[in-house]
Structure 1
Amino acid sequence: MSYPGYPPTGYPPFPGYPPAGQESSFPSPGQYPYPSGFPPMGGGAYPPATSGGYPGAGGYPAPGGYPAPGGYPGAPQPGGAPAYPGSGFPGGQMPSQYSGGQVPYPSQINTESFSSCPAFSPVSLDYSNEPSAMTQGTQGTVQPAANFDALRDAEILRKAMKGFGTDEQAIVDVVSNRSNDQRQQIKAAFKTMYGKDLIKDLKSELSGNMEELILALFMPSTYYDAWSLRKAMQGAGTQECVLIEILCTRTNQEIREIVRCYQSEFGRDLEKDIRSDTSGHFERLLVSMCQGNRDENQSVNHQMAQEDAQRLYQAGEGRLGTDESCFNMVLATRSFPQLKAMMEAYSRMANRDLLSSVSREFSGYVESGLKAILQCALNRPAFFAERLYYSMKGAGTDDSTLVRIVVTRSEIDLVQIKQMFTQMYQKTLSTMIASDTSGDYRKLLLAIVGQ
């Protein structure tokens, strides 16, 4: 699958970036080369050493100009990630509504692996002059309906599908204005009232993208993530961009529940499937992610941030070759606020942002995975806004990515994602969805996203 329209003519300016006083050390937005596909182009320095705005090879501080690892007072010594306590899963078991190891629906989702996906941008999305979503709170576009009545909604859906034709608008009105938990209650009420499975009835009435979107909305959120991961690794090929999008962005609790659900619903071990479908440093990064053991302490240790920045410099820019395990250890274990502080320390120390260093030191899917983690540390809504933009940019639409992000973020931070989308691309998410989709599929997407 190709994505016409690359490379972009340039990225919009990002307020507060680069840090004040360092403007001359960074290329202008239009000077960032953008890879033609996913994974990013390998080989050679990226961006090239000759790119405008970068100093020549001799312009960077010599590796010897920095203290060796451990040179800072109290600096941690190499030795791997810290030990974590056992990862017992919280909560009860997911309801086992679906049986067997195969993903049961939707039947018409393309099972072929993506030959290329839009790469994650090398541009830092640090809106340091603005309150982040973490500090101002996140908000979904879908809220639980007041005066909710599952029996009444089940009756509305039954009437919408009864007889000749389907009243798609009635389905849109109900589904887009109920939370995921409320949709599960509607599904149970439907079976109680009519002795029929709502999902099977919907499948018989709908098709294509509308079917995929409706069924995604009716899946329990944890099940949908587990289902998406299973689908990404099922059959020939692997959809690596899906693995990155889910495993590198979810919280510890979400990941542990996904792992448990994956086992209980599909009878498979997620870590084993990852090991059999990926390899090398990308495999190790995803295995680290699916442990769900990232530090979630929201306070920042600035001494540790400085030490980690030094460690990563010595593991990459400051040596011949790359110590990939050091990058894996820091990015897999530190909290997102801690990672953001470490990136700021790295920029001050190395006169280069860490995202650019990762692009120079890594390639392929491991590069994309590491940058996804860093971008989430900087601005998670902006990361998803970029994914949405490139799912629709150019000829054709990556509907599976569009559906997955809209559905999974609709009750979490889709309001902030919309704000970042407008700021980054000077157009609203609703406008782009309206121009890239059609029919009832468009109506339902717009109802969820909001104007």
Structure 2
Amino acid sequence: MASVQGTIYPAEDFDAEVDAEALHEAMKGWAHIPSFILGTDEDPIIEILANRSNAQRLEIRDQFKQMYGEHLIDRLKSELKGDFEEVVVALLTPPVEYLARCMKGAMKGMGTDEQALIEIMCAKNNQEIEELKATYAEVFDGDSLEEDIEGETSGHFKRLLVSLCNAGREEGDENDVDDGLAEEDATEIYDAGEGQRGTDESKFNSVLALRSFPHLRIMFEKYLELSGNSIDNMIDEECDGVIKDGYMAIVYCVRNIPGFFAKRINDACKGMGTDDSTLIRCIVSRSEIDLQQVKEVFETRYGRPLSEAIRDECGGDYKNMLLAVVKD
């Protein structure tokens, strides 16, 4: 099993009471006047939240309520604003609850953020998806993640997400891969795409959503041997729209999950304006998993450190918090 390579680890000599008091002092200001008018001292907020594990931050949150009779998140929301507030709230939320809230947010209101749904669902294993579904129902009064996905998406894209939501992906390592079955899958994928007029997305779905990642890695090699074309080139040629994005996300994750998140971050920083919610979600959600590897892939692939991209795209306390999380 791969070791965790996050950028945030539990702090040694941790004392939730000391941290809660420091946060309270930082937010004193003038009663009921937000920090952007009179000033909250953001430095302790950044220093504490970016250097404690999520479990420790949750202890601080509970301790703050015991000591001062108010919710830390509510107090911070009253003091902060914008993207900085969004990062702070994300850091003070349990990871699976945070992603459940991101899923709900992606399906609320007019339009659906399909890219957020793809990002969250395609990188998760079966256990993580089951935890996400259970937390989603708990946080949103019994709402079903699968039913919400069915109501907000359509066509082959809906079928892909519903398949992923059912957490039926085969599990196992490289030693469990059946070469013959991988070759058979490669042939069936070829026949469903390049080998015929039109595309049979149902076959793509049944293989990409259900086979184990080690199996798919071997299948991609078999596909290249069979067709002379890489699986991602084939998907790019045969599919379009969000279903193509979903299939491609699975391919990226099968090959290298940190690489997938490096791409997501780079995409969030491209063009006019920054997709701050995606940037925040990728950095916070991977901060205790593989953000160190994400940083390495990002710099190798895109020719600049992640910290440089953050400096170019973000400003103020928001920038400083993200830099503190990625450990510039």
TM range (shorter): over 0.9
Choose from 26, 29, 38 the match for 1:163.
29
Choose from 269, 274, 280 the match for 1:403.
280
Q: CA deviation at 1:301?
A: 2.3
CA-based RMSD: 1.1
1:188 is aligned to 2:62: yes
In the alignment, what sits opposite 1:148?
A: 14
The answer (yes or no) to whether the contact 2:4–2:288 under 8 Å persists in 1 is: no
Choose from 260, 273, 280 the match for 2:155.
280
Give SS of 1:317's match: coil
Structure having the higher helix fraction is: 2
Q: Aligned partners of 1:151 and 1:253: how far apart in 2?
A: 34
The answer (yes or no) to whether the contact 1:138–1:416 under 8 Å persists in 2 is: no
In the alignment, what sits opposite 2:218?
A: 341
**Per-residue deviation, residues 315-358 of structure 1 (Å, max 9, x unmatched):** 11112222211110011111111111110110011000011111
Q: Aligned partners of 2:272 and 2:150: how far apart in 1?
A: 34
The answer (yes or no) to whether the contact 1:138–1:415 under 8 Å persists in 2 is: no
Choose from 99, 123, 146 the match for 1:271.
146
In the alignment, what sits opposite 2:315?
A: 438
Q: Between the two proteins, what is the percent identity of the paired residues?
A: 49
1:203 is aligned to 2:77: yes
In the alignment, what sits opposite 1:248?
A: 122
Q: Aligned partners of 1:193 and 1:368: how far apart in 2?
A: 48
Letter in 2 for 1:419: E
In the alignment, what sits opposite 1:364?
A: 241
Choose from 266, 287, 291 the match for 2:166.
291
The answer (yes or no) to whether the contact 2:268–2:274 under 8 Å persists in 1 is: yes
Counterparts of residues 314-325 of structure 1 (less than 5 Å): 314-325=191-202
| TM-score of the aligned structures, taking structure 1 as reference length | 0.69
User: Higher relative contact order at CA 8 Å, sep ≥6: structure 1 or structure 2?
Assistant: 1
Q: CA deviation at 1:277?
A: 0.7
Letter in 2 for 1:245: E
Q: Aligned partners of 1:138 and 1:354: how far apart in 2?
A: 29
Letter in 2 for 1:146: E
Q: Aligned partners of 2:190 and 2:252: how far apart in 1?
A: 18
1:228 is aligned to 2:102: yes
Q: Aligned partners of 1:218 and 1:296: how far apart in 2?
A: 32
Choose from 66, 81, 88 the match for 1:214.
88
The answer (yes or no) to whether the contact 2:50–2:321 under 8 Å persists in 1 is: yes
Q: Aligned partners of 1:325 and 1:208: how far apart in 2?
A: 42
Q: Aligned partners of 2:136 and 2:241: how far apart in 1?
A: 26
1:353 is aligned to 2:230: yes
Q: Aligned partners of 1:374 and 1:390: how far apart in 2?
A: 17
Counterparts of residues 39-58 of structure 1 (less than 5 Å): none
In the alignment, what sits opposite 1:383?
A: 260
Q: Which has the larger radius of gyration?
A: 1
Letter in 2 for 1:322: T
Letter in 1 for 2:126: N
Between the two proteins, the alignment pairs up a number of residues equal to 317
Letter in 1 for 2:284: V
The answer (yes or no) to whether the contact 2:23–2:44 under 8 Å persists in 1 is: yes
In the alignment, what sits opposite 1:40?
A: none
Q: CA deviation at 1:296?
A: 1.9
In the alignment, what sits opposite 2:36?
A: none
Q: CA deviation at 1:138?
A: 4.1
**Per-residue deviation, residues 243-282 of structure 1 (Å, max 9, x unmatched):** 0000111121111111111111112111111111111100
Q: Aligned partners of 1:401 and 1:182: how far apart in 2?
A: 24
